[in-house]
Amino acid sequence: MRDRKGTGVLKLLFGLILLGFMACVAFIGFDEEQYGSLYDVDLGLDLAGGVSITYQAVDDNPSSSAMSDAKEILRKRAEVYSTEASVYMEGTTRICVDIPNVKDANTILAELGKPGTLEFKDESGNVVLDGNDIKTAQAASIRDNDGIQANQVEYIVQLVLTPEGQTKFADVTEKNKGKTISIVYDNEVVSAPYVREKIDSETCQIDGLDSLERAENLASTIRIGAIPVSLEEVRSDVVGAKLGQKAIQTSLLAGAIGLAIVILIMIILYRVPGIAASLALICYVTMMIVVIAGFDITLTLPGIAGMILSIGMAVDANVIIFARIKEEIGSGTTVRTAINNGFSKALSAIVDGNVTTLISAIILNILGSGTVRGFAQTLAVGIILSMISSLGITRLFLTGFYDLGIQGKRAYGETTKTTKLNVIGKRPIFFTISGIAVALSIGLLIFNATQGEMMNYSIDFVGGTSSTIDLPEEMTLEEIQAQVEPEIASAIGETNMSNVTSNKVVDSSQIIVRTKTLNQDERVALTNMLKEKYGVSEDGIQMQNISAAIGQEMRRDALISVAVATLCMLLYIWFRFRNLTFAAASVLTLLHDVFIVILAYLLFNWTVGTTFIACMLTIVGYSINATIVIFDRVRENLSLDGSKRLTLKEIFNRSINQTMTRSIFTSLTTLIMVVVLAIVGVAAIRDFALPLIVGILCGGFSSVCIAGGLAHLMMREKKMEQNA
């Protein structure tokens, strides 16, 4: 006994040291600056603020070398504004530029993708140099310490030439002594410096500029050079730092509140196992932070939602295990045996459920883009770490408590009675209710299609500009429509007021305005109007521009993502269960859930955008997860009933009732996290959380009331055919 207590102490001590170590790495760190991994997490533009823009080559088949050169030029231009800028290819004809932590977004958008050519011309108009001959250009100020104008500051631009450019420049300056050489950008003369003498060196300077600002503008124009392919802006986001900071604060608050509530529920419901799971859950959260920072995963707003959602889903494995332990204790086994059996018997359901959700995350990461990919990455990390947490860390703490001497059955709970609901017998009722809802969803989609668009697509899917504006004072929707909308229309030159629509964010001074796709001048005009008339700060404005072509492409990708994920899940379930019936019933159930959530989108007129893809695939993964737990128990009960004492209906009913506690508690804990997100989170998070609430409720209902009924019906019909 003394040896066992010592083992228990060591296990708990090791677990607490692990928890403490991970917490230190995550929040404190071990360097002199005392910064943990939390401060090393790369924030997406929707959290850090900044500019994101995607360019599309105008030509259908630009050469790879031209696109590569264009990417490099854009990288150099972007790094002028921020050393943290990121420039990367999207496919073969698009270039994405992300510039975080910048304020003058409209200026950046205006200058970044200039397609113009840079040329140096003599007085006869001959091109003597071009942008490729210049390595770099920097503005500077110098003080004249000699002569009549001693101590007067002079502003210059210092040029560094390429070897070829140096040779050309020496020849040109020798031939043009006493003359001017014009610097022409996009067919406009930006400067015409005077040539005093032959310049035969790597460096030279342009002087005579009247201000440092003018010198910086000239240096920037020379430095960025010319892009070798024609580019057009197809998508852009401008996020104010104020909005990004608010998103971080509200999301962290939502996560903390949700985590505290889930921990409290776990301890109340499961006692000692609940305490073990809570400690493992805290360790899980710290591991998430460390891994995200360690693997340089960019954390976006949907990514935070994915983290918080994964906390709720991480509880699922623990609930499955604890329900098994209580059953084992109720059947008469010892607590120690019950703990071992609980973990071993729950393993297959946990693995299968998490793998199917992981499939959704992988598909999202492959086919998604931007913030959707960020959500997929954090969700995938969460799934993997949740398995490590529940199967490893929870077990460490739980067996530690047992070895320490907490061995009474009351401390772990026991299940002596299982509910005996005749779920399969109520199948006609459940099928009728669901059938009506699915039919209504399909009917509304068809009706809407005849009237125009099937759903209320956001600019992500149809193109346009969406502006999130943080007004200094809260206004009613009526005031916004009567006052703000006309002024916005006037600022952007819109004569049709039906093309300017706005929504008010609940309990907030923020409004979201949708308009036609705005060009650079219109964006500047809108920003200036908001600053002058309403006192809106520039970091309180977020603008998203998406072309119609990109919108249609994203809509197509959304359908492909859901279809591919569904097919992959079907194949996996078929492989694992060796039974096409279970696979077919699972997929039909998740399609049922998809149509029900779509019905909610239609009835509440929720906008359908990029988060819709992440939302639907999350619901698909969640629905499959819940269904697999029941089918895993059906498979087990079928194998245990070798003498065929039970009918197929009795086996399904028993399996559903045995997993009922898990279905309820998992839905509850996940729902808590998402509801807190919907209440506390910013508008973008709320748009994601509200459909998830519907999906979780629907998934809980369908896994219990629909999936088992479908599988039973298919298996019964198959058996009748075989006996015929």
**Which pLDDT band holds residue 135 (cuts at 50, 70, 90)?**
confident
- pTM over 0.75? The answer is no
Task: Give the chain's length.
Answer: 724
Residue 38 belongs to some domain of the structure: no
Residues 499 and 627 in one domain: no
Q: Average pLDDT, stretch 683-705? A: 86
Mean pLDDT of 239-257: 75
Q: Is there a domain that residue 213 lies in?
A: yes
Tell me, what CATH number does 525's domain have?
3.30.70.3220
CA atoms within 13 A on the CB side of 191: 23
Bridge-based pairing of strands 134-144 and 510-515 is unpaired
The order of strands in the sheet holding 182-185 is 127-130, 118-121, 182-185, 188-191
Are residue 523 and residue 612 in the same domain, yes or no? Answer: no
Residue 90 and residue 54 in contact, taking contact as beta carbons nearer than 8 Å: yes
CA atoms of 685 and 670, how far apart (whole Å): 16
Give the three-state DSSP class for 370. coil
Average pLDDT rounded to a whole number, residues 412-417: 79
pLDDT of residue 33: 64
Percentage of the chain lying above the pLDDT 90 cut: 17
Q: pLDDT confidence of 117, banded at 50, 70, 90?
A: low
Are residues 533 and 555 both part of a single domain?
A: no
pLDDT at 88 over 80: yes
The confidence score (pLDDT) of residue 242 equals 64
* H-helix segments, 368-458: 371-388, 394-404, 409-412, 427-451
Q: Give the mean pLDDT of the chain.
A: 83
479 and 580, same domain (yes or no) = no
Same domain, 570 and 440: yes
pLDDT, mean of residues 134-163: 76
Chosen domain end from 497, 519, 546? 546
3-class secondary structure, 125: coil
The pLDDT tens digits of the residues spanning 278-302 come to 999 999 989 988 998 888 887 777 7
Among 224, 246, 281, the domain-final residue is: 224
The strands making up 134-144's β-sheet, listed across from edge to edge, are: 134-144, 152-161, 203-209
The answer, yes or no, to whether residue 32 has pLDDT greater than 80, is: no
Find where tokens 């994601």 sit. 688
- Specify the higher pLDDT residue, 70 or 148: 70
Q: What is the CATH number of the domain that holds 168?
A: 3.30.1360.200
Q: Are residues 500 and 625 in the same domain?
A: no
Q: How far apart are the first and last CA of the chain?
A: 62
- The answer to whether residue 145 scores a pLDDT higher than 60 is no
Q: Bridge-partner residues for 156, per DSSP?
A: 140
State which H helix or E strand residue 723 sits in: helix 708-723
Confirm whether 373 is domain-assigned. no
pLDDT at 69 over 80: no
Burial class, 270, CB count within 10 angstroms (exposed 0-12 / middle 13-18 / buried 19+):
buried
Domain that holds residue 159: 118-224
The segment with the largest mean pLDDT, out of 69-83, 426-440, 542-556, is 426-440
Q: Under a CB-based contact definition with an 8 Å cutoff, are residues 358 and 350 in contact?
A: no
Domain-ending residue, one of 516, 546, 576? 546
- The full DSSP string for 26-66 is HHT-SSTT---GGGGPPBPHHHH-EEEEEEEESSSS--HHH
Task: Tell me the per-residue pLDDT of 649-686, one tens digit each, with 9 for 90 and over.
Answer: 999 999 999 888 878 888 888 888 888 888 887 777 78
Answer yes or no: do 434 and 558 share one domain.
yes
User: How do residues 491-510 score in pLDDT, each as one tens digit?
Assistant: 998 887 877 888 777 667 88
Residue 317 pLDDT: 85
Interval 310-325 mean pLDDT: 82
Look at residue 341 in the predicted model and tell me its pLDDT: 92
Asked if the structure places residue 329 within a domain, the reply is: no
| pLDDT band at residue 62 under the 50/70/90 scheme | confident
Asked if residue 157 is part of any domain, the answer here is yes
Is 404 a domain residue? no
Give the span between the Cα atoms of 85 and 101, in whole angstroms: 9
Residue 113 DSSP symbol: T
Mean pLDDT on 385-412: 91
pLDDT of residue 529: 92
Whether 617 shows a pLDDT value over 80: the answer reads: no
Please report which confidence band the pLDDT of residue 225 belongs to, taking 50, 70 and 90 as the band edges.
Answer: low
**Dihedral sign from CA coordinates of 501, 554, 562, 98:** negative
Which of 105 and 268 is assigned the larger pLDDT?
Answer: 268
d(CA 469, CA 539): 9
**pLDDT tens digits for 561-616?**
777 877 887 788 888 777 888 888 988 998 899 899 999 999 998 888 777 777 77
CATH number at residue 90: 3.30.70.3400
CATH number at residue 581: 1.20.1640.10
Q: How confident is the model at residue 73 (pLDDT cuts 50, 70, 90)?
A: confident
If asked whether residues 61 and 170 sit together in one domain, one would say no
What is the number of domains present in the chain? 4
Alpha-carbon distance 598 to 553, whole Å? 20
User: Span 337-346, mean pLDDT?
Assistant: 91
Q: Are residues 480 and 540 in the same domain?
A: yes
Helix (H) or strand (E) holding 207: strand 203-209
Whether residues 604 and 660 fall in one domain: yes
Do 435 and 566 belong to one domain? Answer: yes
pLDDT given for residue 724 in this prediction:
46
Which residue has better confidence, 632 or 149?
Answer: 632
Tell me if 338 is assigned to some domain: no
User: Would you tell me how many other CB atoms lie within 10 Å of the CB of residue 712?
Assistant: 23
Query: How far apart (Å, rounded) are the C-alpha atoms in residues 363 and 564?
Result: 7
Q: Say if 554 falls within a structural domain.
A: yes
Residue range 549-555: average pLDDT? 72
Q: Are residues 704 and 601 in the same domain?
A: yes
